[in-house]
Amino acid sequence: MTERSVIHATFSIERTYDAAPSKVFRAYADRAIKRRWFVEGEGWDIETYDLDFRIGGTESSSFRFKGGALIRFDAVYQDIVPNDRIIVAYNMTIDDKRISASLATTELKPDGKRTKLVFTEQGAYLDGYDSIAQREEGTRELHEALARELARS
């Protein structure tokens, strides 16, 4: 039987991107662009990806790293203000074990021609399956992948 536990924690990440808020926002709203920086990557096998970017809409993906365990990400958009704010609730499972549920807020603020992004995750980390340090590290890598995506075009 699984030993049940919940650790609640909050972390935030700030980055400034060399792109206007409208371009950064589009990287979240457009399914093809979001898939490219949010789920694709060397060694990752994507089994499914879908995005319905509207309040109440869902985003889901399932993937494996180098043939390992099946990881699922399931999200529901809680609030969207174009070019300004995105709030999403998401949970993750690894081989059907739920490892976390989180509320993730992304705020975009114009900074001259650039964008200051403030990401805040308020998470419930479950049953000892995930660590906050690991989640924060993975989230930093995603924000680095977004920088590469914005530099592409």
Is 20 in contact with 34 (CB distance < 8 Å)?
A: no
Q: Residue 127: left (phi > 0), alpha (psi -120 to 50), or beta?
A: left
Residues 60-89 that bind a second copy (CB under 8 A): 74, 76, 78-79, 81, 84-85, 87, 89
Those residues whose C-beta lies under 8 Å from the C-beta of residue 81, and which sit 6 or more positions away, are: none
What is the x/- site pattern for a second copy, positions 19-58, by CB under 8 A? ------------------------------------xx--
Output the 3-class SS for 108-150.
EEEECCEEEEEEEEEEEEECCCCCHHHHHHHHHHHHHHHHHHH
**Which residues partner with 81 through β-bridges?**
85
Residue 94 binds a second copy, judged by CB under 8 A: no
* Cα 106 to Cα 17: distance, rounded to the nearest angstrom: 13
Residue 62 or 122 with smaller CB distance to a second copy: 122
Residues in the interface with a second copy (CB under 8 A) total 27
* Cα 12 to Cα 136: distance, rounded to the nearest angstrom: 8
Residue 102 binds a second copy, judged by CB under 8 A: yes
What is the x/- site pattern for a second copy, positions 111-150, by CB under 8 A? ---------x-xxx-x------------------------
- Binding range to a second copy, per CB under 8 A, among 1-9, 20-28, 37-45, 141-149: 1-9
One-letter amino acid of 107: E
Binding site for a second copy (CB under 8 A): 4, 6, 8, 10, 55-56, 74, 76, 78-79, 81, 84-85, 87, 89, 91, 98, 101-103, 105, 107, 120, 122-124, 126
